[in-house]
Structure 1
Amino acid sequence: MSKDLVVILTALNLEYQAVRRKLAGPQVHHHERGTRFEVGTVQGTSCRVALGLTNKGNHSAAVIAERAIQEFSPAAVLFVGVAGALWDTARLGDVVMATHVYAYHGGTSEDDGLKARPRGWEAPHGISQLAAHLARVNDWADDAPGHGRAPQVRFGAIAAGEVVQNSKISAEAQWIRQHYNDALAIEMEAAGVAQAGHLSGAPVAIIRGISDRADGTKNSAKDRNWQPRAAANAAAFATRLAVELLGEQEQIAMSRAEKAQSADRPAERVSNTVHNSTVGIMAGSVKDSNVHLNTAPLAAGPTGLVAELNGFREHLKHHHVEGALDDDTYREALADLESARRTASENTLDSSRRTTMTLKRLRGLVADCPVLVAELAHLITAGR
């Protein structure tokens, strides 16, 4: 599969449900080793999300993250859920986006004490920039009457360990303060997901809603109140980030495809003599001293679009024969193309929307073939 979706992972079922409520039409996707994902689209958009549950701990999170990356080849992996705040730097309900992740339990025990062996992963620059922009725009949060002030997004380090941290005076708390005192939040999975992304080459973002203080004041009553709100805030920001991320990548892919198509298009040089001087026209024709560019429109109506889709099938076949598309991608592309042909022939407002969504998904599948992407850009416009 191509990078036409975002994977979102959570550790707790409460966090999973918060993200799932943001999705339309989730469908179960079975991994061959038994892991279940759900694939849907963010409500009101064409952004596809594969949602999975890792359970607690860095080790489990790393395994499921690696499995998701290999299964979906996503544009990015977002790990979403709740965390405890450190040093009173973030308020309950706020969202922390990790600029980098610490695996804080690394160290070596010597005669004169435990020495830290820091391990860290930085967030990808592009995702961090986009997240900072969304935080500045600040229109991502759900309207929540009676919940007081709107949540804020804060950027900083997140510490990930192997124990539940709920003390300001424990040995672990002192260790974190001594060696990782720039961390804003603490949790138990981000290091595993970050490592999986590092080894697989997949961009990873860690997004956590603050549900407690990790200072000994955590209790069940507060958890019942703040955990759902913190999880919902993290889910709201993460799904908005996913939508914007795929939108940016789509624009970049289209721009590259257009440039590639321009570079590959043969130049038809036509000359016209005017007053003993020659005027050279590139990629066009001259009639009666007027220039007419070669911009043949698609045939009008659903019949014309279906005919164009039939022609696109031959282009797909050619790229498959030439080795530009592997067997699996080719089969999926043909299935999407057939689905687009069926909906295009229905000629209704809803079928037009479904045709456009299917063609966008098809464009994601063939993203490595700029010429096909450029052709699909015109077909998508016609499908609308």
Structure 2
Amino acid sequence: MSENQDLVVILTALNLEYQAVRRRLAGPQVRRHERGTRFEVGTVQGTSCRVALALTNKGNHSAAVIAERAIQEFSPVAVVFVGVAGALWETARLGDVVVATHVYAYHGGTSEDDGLKARPRVWEAPHGISQLASHLARVDDWADDAPGRERAPQVRFGAIAAGEVVQNSRISAEARWIRQHYNDALAIEMEAAGVAQAGHLSGAPVAIVRGISDRADGTKSSAKDRSWQPRAAANAAAFATRLALELVQEKEQTVMDRADGARAAGRLEDHISNTAYGSTVGIMAGSVKDSSVHLNTDAGPKAASPKGLAAELDGFRLHLVRHHAEGALDDDTCREALADLDSARRAAEHGTPESARKALMTLKRLRGLIADCPALAARLAPLVVAAGGPA
């Protein structure tokens, strides 16, 4: 995979939500965007899944800007917005997690003599994310074990309404209007529409994960509902980080499957090049004299195609990351090795003789860098040969 294809961006609006996610990360390091936005990049504890965490502050507009910056900075597997929300109906109980099947920007409308007519924008959750989230909900092993907890939080799937006003009433004109026109929405909040729009424009998959902390019914400021905020934020963070881990693992599997496909295609190409069709025979590095065919058996190993070598390098990257996660490589060696690997991949993709030489030299340097890890060195050796090096 490329440099950031093992990374998921997680965004939050409140410090409470930010800290709930951050507690689940190991070794967070600050990364500053050129415009001043600060991200913390760490790994989900006990895994090699990387997460870039940032605070957007309240509102759809701010969330959209920060989401766009995060996507440009990291090119992530996905963007996950995590936080708390108010429940619009009794379906979702306090502490439950709501995963958006679609997001309504409910402030879209037209004001006419007979009232305000709803004209929302709607963003549907990506199919793959919805399927994966549903699977995790069925498996139901994502929540923390909390002593004394009356019941485990449940995952609910449905629409989320996102606007620009804190909703804390059941009887106000706006509250009645929302429940009338968006009666399938399970929860209401203030950032999902902005993040969904940023993902739509950038082509990045977006997931919205919210913990229910109140009922948006006038009791938000009560001591009881305030006590639910940290619990709801923790539940949302637990599900979101598990979702991030599964998204990265699926991406890794996809890369490995493609690498296997490229290897199979290469073997088929080799087979075809040595197979006769009708009266035509393909011969490489050979000659014909009289009625005899002479093959040059000293031609040496055949270099891989640029596309095939790039796919093989993607597969090798997964093994490199895993050996680092298992402690076989230290941080500095892994960082240098990944840099060499990415450089070799870029060179291999160009397909020119000069870039092929550069790829070979970089892979030879990489071979020396990981020489103390025999398992990795053994996996790299045929790639050096495929790049044109000696067997």
| Bucket of the pairwise TM-score, normalised by the shorter protein | 0.7 to 0.9
Match of 1:245 in 2: 247
Match of 2:110 in 1: 108
Contact kept? 2:344, 2:363, Cα under 8 Å: no
Distance 1:80 1:41 in 2: 17
Match of 1:166 in 2: 168
Matched, 1:97 2:99: yes
Q: How far apart are 1:80 and its partner, in Å? A: 0.2
Which of 261, 264, 289 is matched with 1:262 structurally? 264
Match of 1:366 in 2: none
Match of 1:71 in 2: 73
Contact kept? 2:340, 2:363, Cα under 8 Å: no
Q: How far apart are 1:322 and its partner, in Å? A: 4.9
**Higher mean C-alpha displacement, 255-264 vs 95-104:** 255-264
Q: How far apart are 1:339 and its partner, in Å? A: 8.7
Match of 2:350 in 1: 323
List gaps (5 residues or longer) in structure 2.
Answer: 275-315, 317-327, 353-357, 385-391
Letter in 2 for 1:30: R
Letter in 1 for 2:372: S
List gaps (5 residues or longer) in structure 1.
Answer: 272-297, 326-330, 360-371, 377-384
Matched, 1:194 2:196: yes
Match of 1:8 in 2: 10
Q: Secondary structure at the match of 1:255?
A: helix
Q: How far apart are 1:147 and its partner, in Å? A: 2.2
CA, structure 1 residues 40+109, in 2 after alignment: closer, same or farther (shift >3 Å)? same
Match of 1:53 in 2: 55
- Deviation string 1:229-279 (CA, Å, 9 cap, x unpaired) is 0000000000000101111111111101110122123425899xxxxxxxx
- Deviation string 1:84-105 (CA, Å, 9 cap, x unpaired) is 0012111100000000000001
Letter in 2 for 1:345: D
Contact kept? 1:74, 1:202, Cα under 8 Å: yes
Q: How far apart are 1:335 and its partner, in Å? A: 10
Distance 2:341 2:107 in 1: 56
- Deviation string 1:141-183 (CA, Å, 9 cap, x unpaired) is 0111122200000000000010100100111111111110000
TM-score normalized with structure 2 length: 0.73
Contact kept? 1:77, 1:205, Cα under 8 Å: yes
Distance 1:9 1:57 in 2: 12
Contact kept? 1:313, 1:337, Cα under 8 Å: no
Match of 2:287 in 1: none
Distance 1:36 1:254 in 2: 33
Q: How far apart are 1:323 and its partner, in Å? A: 2.6
- Deviation string 1:202-249 (CA, Å, 9 cap, x unpaired) is 000000000001011222412431111000000000000010111111
CA, structure 1 residues 12+270, in 2 after alignment: closer, same or farther (shift >3 Å)? closer
Match of 1:292 in 2: none
Q: How does 1:116-131 map to 2 (within 5 A)?
A: 116-131=118-133
TM-score normalized with structure 1 length: 0.74
Match of 2:282 in 1: none
- Deviation string 1:24-54 (CA, Å, 9 cap, x unpaired) is 1100011000000000100011101000100
Contact kept? 2:344, 2:362, Cα under 8 Å: no
**Higher mean C-alpha displacement, 259-268 vs 105-114:** 259-268
Distance 1:318 1:100 in 2: 38
**RMSD, aligned α-carbons:** 3.5
Distance 2:136 2:364 in 1: 34
Match of 1:83 in 2: 85
Contact kept? 2:213, 2:225, Cα under 8 Å: yes
Aligned residues: 314
Q: How far apart are 1:2 and its partner, in Å? A: 3.7
